[in-house]
Structure formats: structure tokens, C-alpha cells
Amino acid sequence: MSTDVAAPADADQAALRSTLPPTRPSGVPLRVVDLFAGIGGLSLGLSQAAAAVGRPVDVALAVDRDPAALGVFSRIFPSAEVTTEDVTALVDGTLGAVATPAERALRRRVGDVDVLVGGPPCQGHSALNNATRHRDDRNELYLRMARAAEVLAPDTMVVENVPGARADRSGVVDRTVAHLRGLGYGVSVEVVDLSDLGVAQRRRRLVLLATRRVPVSLVDVVHRHQRPTRGVAWAIGDLADVESDRLVDQRARSAAATRERIAYLFDHDVYELPNELRPACHRGDHSYVSIYGRMRPDQPAQTITRGFYSMCMGRYVHPTRPRTITAHEAARLQHFPDHVDFSSIRKRGQLALAIGNAVPPRLTEAIGAEVLASRRDAS
């Protein structure tokens, strides 16, 4: 197994700030299928891990219902086939059943697959979804990953979701684990805080890693690829005064009342807004102190969501400037390097959704490095 030594902070930071897309390696390609792909964080992380050992990534297929997100994916992976087809139409069979015509067509379409990744929609499991949490129909999409593994037979599969997925009343995670083990996979399931891997953000995610031949533990992945805890300033300190015509660098047009609340945080050098200055619906006894809060430069950000333009959605006020963070800064806090091109998205809401829903590529960079090392050591 790998004994990866944490890279110097300045090397990681330089990679994050790089505006030059990496050169494609010349080795044997790692073939990837990305379901519920978004802007491509899972595939990008794999490409970073593969590049470190001289292998390129070929994305045989990327699927997502959001065409704006896929526009960004296509700029990261120009040769990838991307589609807004429904995953449930592409992978429509029952677990354990003979492949359907659609599934046989999918196999022909993508060919051999080394790695299958996916981040099924997590809103059904989210702690913010009080109406249907743990019994939402979207939760069943998790099982489509198990069926896709059965159909495509990848060597490795990674599934990312929120920790609440394990509390689903139909047991989608446990059913997926049991099915994968029945197919011969070694399975590791853990809640991973991405800040442990060097992402300047507290982002706890339930990660499932399934591997053939050589089992790989997510505990080992985190241990071997751990980075120092990084604050917001580490990720975005150089962007504080950046202004440009690009949508990613444009600042939110905050209402007068919001500007007054932000000014109070800076005038009094505080990080939480007093109750009396909050709207009536956000006063009283509550545990949401981060809402209307200012980021601390020496601490990781809270989880980045689509609401990062608004201080009423979380602790999204810039640590040193009287404004909320930009999309560029949110992307950095999601650990997306500057060479990722968001210019295909022309609407602020679409951009916020694409970035907020993304998976920090650092997750699969660490997993991919460990899996590739385990295969090399076993050969």
C-alpha cells in the first residue's frame, strides 16, 4: 500500500491557483463512467491521481440532468461523451436480474470500465429536508449505483452522498453494500470530513468505496493522504480584491439591510450577528449561529452550498472584505483549481447550483492514489 507523505502546503496551494490545464499523460488510460456527474469533481480527482502515475483518464460517459453543469464537465474533459439522459433509463434493471436491453446497450456504448463514480442526488437524505427525509423517492437512486456496478463490472466504484443516507428507511446503503459484496467486491463505507484531506471546508460525506482483487480501506485513505487543517484564507486569500467581468468573479448585489448587517460584523470585528440585528424569523433560541456569520480566515469554511451568495444561507461573508464570497472563491473552497472553466454558465443561479452541488476533487484524488498504489503493489 502507499505511504503517501503530505505534500507541502505551498505545492497544494500552487496547484489550486494554477490557470493552466495539466498536460495529458501518455500512459494507459483509466476508463471512467461518471453517473450524477455534475461539473465533474469525482472524475477530476481521479484524473489528478492517475496523472501522478503517468496515466490519463478517459471518461467514457458522464450523465447528469443539469446541462449547465455538464457544460463545465465538457470543458474539463473535452473528449468525454456527456448526456442528460436519465440514469434510471440507462440502468433500469432490478438488482440481480439479467441485463435489460437498455443495460446491454449501455455496456456496448461504454466498453470496458475501470472506475465507476457517482454522487446520487442527496436532497432526499439532507438534514435540511425535514419533509421527506429518509423516505424520499430520490433516495432509491443510490441503488442505481449498485446496479450500474453489476452491469458494467468496474474494477473500482466510488459513491458519495451525505451522512444521512445511512438513515434511509429502506436501507439503501446497507442494501447496496450487501449486493456489492455478493458480486465479489470488498466494500468500505465511512463518513469522511473533506477538511481532513486538506479541503478548506468542513464537508462531511458518506463515502462508499468498492474494489475488486485488493481491498482498500477508506480509513487508510484518509490516514495516508491527510493534510493539515486549512483555513479559508489558505484557499482564497489571494482573491480578496479580484474584480473582473467574468461571472465567477462578480459579487452579489446585496440588499441595503444585508449590507448593513455585513458592515456591523466588520465595524465591531465580530463573526456572529447579534440576535437583535437578525430578521425576526432568525431570532430567539437557535443553534444556527453560522447564518448571517462571517468566515474566520484561520478556520475551514462551513459546507459550501448553492446559497453561498447570501449571508442568510450560512456563514458566507468574506473573512476580510464586507461582502459575501464570489463563485470563484466558492469553487476554490470546493478545491477546484483555477484552470476549471465555468464560462459556459451564464446565469448566477445556475453557477451557484453547479458549484454548491459539486464534490471536491480532492476526495477521489486521495482514493484514486491509494487504489492505483494498491494495484501496483499487488502486481
Residue (of 214, 234, 201, 211) closest to 363 by Cα position:
201
Query: Which residues are CB-neighbours of 68 under 8 A, at least 6 positions away?
Result: 344, 345, 347, 350, 351, 353, 354
Q: With beta carbons less than 8 A apart as the criterion, state whether 32 and 113 touch.
A: yes
* 101 phi, psi to nearest 5 deg: -55, -40
Residue (of 226, 228, 227, 224) closest to 373 by Cα position:
224
Q: Which of 44, 61, 122, 141 is catalytic?
A: 122
**DSSP labels for 187-246?**
EEEEEEEGGGGT-SB--EEEEEEEESSS---HHHHHHHT------HHHHHGGGTT---SS
**DSSP labels for 284-334?**
SS-S-TTTT-B--TTS-B----TTTT-GGGSS-B-SSSSSBPPHHHHHHHT
Query: Which residues are CB-neighbours of 368 under 8 A, at least 6 positions away?
Result: 45, 46, 48, 49, 50, 115
In the numeric block, the cell 481491498 is attached to 215
Three-state secondary-structure class, residue 35: strand
Q: Other C-beta atoms within 10 Å of 160: how many?
A: 24
Query: What nine digits make up the cell of 32?
Result: 471512467
Three-state secondary-structure class, residue 40: coil
Query: Which residues are CB-neighbours of 147 under 8 A, at least 6 positions away?
Result: 91, 93, 94, 95
Whether 281 is catalytic: no
Three-state secondary-structure class, residue 268: coil
Active site residues: 122
